[in-house]
Amino acid sequence: MSDKHIHGVKAVSEALREPGRVNRVYVAKESRAHGADALATAAKAASVPFDYVPQAKLNELAGTMEHQGVVAVISPVAYASFESILESCPPKAIVLVLDQVQHPRNLGMLIRTAACAGVHAVVLPERGGALIDDDVLRASAGAVFHVPVATCGNVAQALRDLRDAGFWSYGLDASGEQSVFATNWADRCAIVVGNETKGMRPGVQKACDVMVRIPLAKGMDSLNVSVAAGVTLYQVAAQHGLR
């Protein structure tokens, strides 16, 4: 499966009216179509990433030259708003925050694990990491329909907003000072997982309240990101009383 694209000024404009359905908008640098440039402004207002790219790139994405200089990548499910996630959180809740996870299969498995562990919501950055597409949907085995997924413009700021809402942020890292098996989890937990190879960015790590680790057997240095998140989420869920 691959990303779904729509093209044309009218089609993309209508898609932007439906919150959470557009992953990204591409506008041709050479475009002279009426309304094409205005879509970049509309995308920004809707917190949808947009890029100016060569006409040839749009021809490739759309599979046609009749795209009017605009192509949008559509998510197979609607994203929740970050604000709605904060407003709907119960007194005891887990939010999984992902900092630039790259691979669709990992993202899909993370979302499925989150849904199975009773996570309230998953938060992704708008740029720099995988977004929900058909590959993610397939890897999640449909779990993207069972847990809200929101995007944010800045992960560190999202963690600060979560803190204001009463969340304690736990960054998962091999050098964390606390073991996940010895941590006393807060009632409201944000579990933060970084990129598959680089881990979380320094600014995101700084925004965490504490760094935690999963102890590993001698000679082993890492776990797959979705496995590590699963171990941690179930530790929190068990302490929270998940049955």
Question: Residues 59-80: pLDDT tens digits?
Answer: 888 888 888 888 999 888 889 9
Q: Phi first, then psi: what are they for 154, rounded to 5°?
A: -150, 115
Whether residues 210 and 92 fall in one domain: yes
Query: 87 and 25 share a domain?
Result: no
Q: How does the average pLDDT of the chain come out, rounded?
A: 91
Quick one: pLDDT at residue 40?
Answer: 79
CATH number at residue 46: 3.30.1330.30
Measured between alpha carbons, how far is 61 from 3 in angstroms, rounded to an integer? 9
- Choosing from 49, 74, 99, the residue where a domain stops is 74
Is pLDDT at 237 greater than 70 in this prediction?
yes
Domain that holds residue 35: 4-74
How far apart are alpha carbons 99 and 200 in whole angstroms?
6
- Taking phi first (over 0 means left), then psi (-120 to 50 degrees means alpha), and beta for anything else, what does residue 54 get? beta
Is 31's pLDDT higher than 70? Answer: no
The model's pTM is 0.83
Q: Which of 2-16, 46-60, 194-208 has the lowest mean pLDDT?
A: 2-16
Nearest CA among 216, 190, 196 for reference residue 109: 196
| Domain co-membership, 42 together with 91 | no
pLDDT band for position 242 (cuts 50, 70, 90): confident
Task: Flag whether pLDDT at 1 surpasses 60.
Answer: no
In this structure, the answer to whether residues 117 and 221 fall within a common structural domain is yes
Q: Per mean pLDDT, which range of 46-55, 147-156, 189-198 is the poorest? A: 46-55
* Domain boundary pick from 74, 98, 131: 74
- Do 105 and 152 lie in one domain? The reply is yes
Q: pLDDT-derived band of residue 213, with 50, 70 and 90 as boundaries?
A: very high
Tell me: do 14 and 50 sit in the same domain: yes
Q: How many domains does the chain have?
A: 2
User: Taking the CB of residue 211, how many other CB atoms lie within 10 A of it?
Assistant: 18
Do 159 and 221 lie in one domain? The reply is: yes
Looking at 74, 91, 109, which one is the last position of a domain? 74
Q: Rounded mean pLDDT of 140-159? A: 95
What is the SS3 assignment for 93? strand
- CA contacts within 13 A on the Cβ side of 141: 7
Same domain, 53 and 118: no
- Predicted confidence band of residue 2 (pLDDT cuts 50, 70, 90): very low
CATH of the domain at 125: 3.40.1280.10
The answer to whether the beta carbons of residues 20 and 79 sit under 8 Å apart is: yes
Q: Is there a single domain that holds both residue 92 and residue 173?
A: yes
In a shared domain, residues 177 and 230: yes
Looking at the structure, tell me whether residues 177 and 222 fall in a common domain: yes
SS3 7: strand
Same domain, 198 and 236: yes
CA-closest candidate to residue 28, choices 48, 55, 8, 51? 55
